[in-house]
Amino acid sequence: MSKLAILGTAGLLQIPHFEITDRFEVETPYGKPSSALIHGLLQGEKIILLMRNSEEGNIPPHAINYRANIWALHKAGVSHILSIAPVNGIRADMIPGKIVTPDQIIDYTFDREHSFHTNEFSAAQHIDFRMPYTENFRQELIKLAHEHHIDLIEDGTYAVIQGPRLTTLAETNRLEKDGCHMTGMTAMPEAILARELDMHYSSLCIITHKAAGRRAFIKSTSQALSPVLKQGLAQLHQLIAQSVIELPTIISPINESIAID
């Protein structure tokens, strides 16, 4: 059974040389996950893929059944979730095509189910969430990027916005003042739900655009990717592949601690 799962957006997970071995449609106490659990092999290593916005990409971020997704991976024996997500850059170095492994989150979402303990809560279920990403898991991703000469921005605060719309200029300015470096729509409640189930969660994000006010908005009628975004996706796929190949040998060591002081 694979301990590592890739949870991502359908358009970003066309991983070269990934061989599907099985698919499982599952039910959970929280309803159906966004997609089947796709079991497969990459360079001989087992992995599970789950598409958070469905395999067709037609579930908007605010309507994703996050609890069903995380629960399904947990019941499948997954201990480590590598989240893959598109984001918009605010900080000057976060330009299209760059890959980021965020280390912090500020949550601006609303009306999402943020806990498995909503109906049966006790004080013992308050969760330490100082570090929303498993730091030693994150450091292993950084190490892999260095070893394979993959350009990676090693920190950043991810502003989780409600979606599906993008931010206004004033909202981008506010987020920047709040200390946010990028905007995305899916890190919460994924990160806290994984923590509640003692699962390790880290992320690789790719900057697809600059946030509102940090570039002129151009509505493109073409589906073609820009050269810089193509290059960034190629590097992202390479880093995903190296993670699948190399992380299983270190999963036991990085399974020792979630909360990092």
Domain with residue 207: its CATH number is 3.40.50.1580
Q: Does residue 105 fall inside a structural domain?
A: yes
Q: Does residue 203 fall inside a structural domain?
A: yes
Between vectors from CA 185 to CA 85 and to CA 106, what angle results, nearest 5°?
105
Beta-carbon count within 10 A of 56 CB: 9
Task: For the chain, give the mean pLDDT.
Answer: 88
Q: How is residue 192 written in tokens?
A: 């806290």
Beta-carbon count within 10 A of 123 CB: 5
Query: Residue 257 above 50 pLDDT?
Result: no
E strands along 43-107, which residues? 45-51, 80-89, 99-100, 104-107
Residue 131's pLDDT is 96
Q: Does residue 14 fall inside a structural domain?
A: yes
Q: Does residue 11 fall inside a structural domain?
A: yes
Give the residue from 170, 203, 199 showing the smallest Cα distance to 185. 203
Q: What dihedral do alpha carbons 161, 137, 36, 76 form, nearest 10°?
A: -130
**Spatial separation of the C-alpha atoms in residues 172 and 183, rounded to whole Å:** 9
Using one digit for the tens of pLDDT, what is the confidence trace for 211-234? 998 875 555 544 556 788 888 999
Q: How many domains does the chain have?
A: 1
Q: How is residue 28 written in tokens?
A: 């959970």
Query: Residue 24 above 60 pLDDT?
Result: yes
Q: Does residue 258 fall inside a structural domain?
A: no
Encoded amino acid at 191, one letter: A
Q: Does residue 196 fall inside a structural domain?
A: yes
Q: Which residue range forms the structural domain that includes residue 167? A: 4-251
CB proximity list for 217: less than 8 A, separation 6 or greater: none
Q: Running DSSP on this structure, what letter comes out for residue 133? A: S
**Spatial separation of the C-alpha atoms in residues 203 and 19, rounded to whole Å:** 23
Q: Does residue 244 fall inside a structural domain?
A: yes
CA 245 centroid distance within chain: 19
Give the residue from 64, 55, 102 showing the smallest Cα distance to 203. 102
Using one digit for the tens of pLDDT, what is the confidence trace for 108-163? 999 999 988 877 766 667 788 999 999 999 999 999 999 999 999 999 999 999 99
pTM: 0.90
Q: Does residue 199 fall inside a structural domain?
A: yes
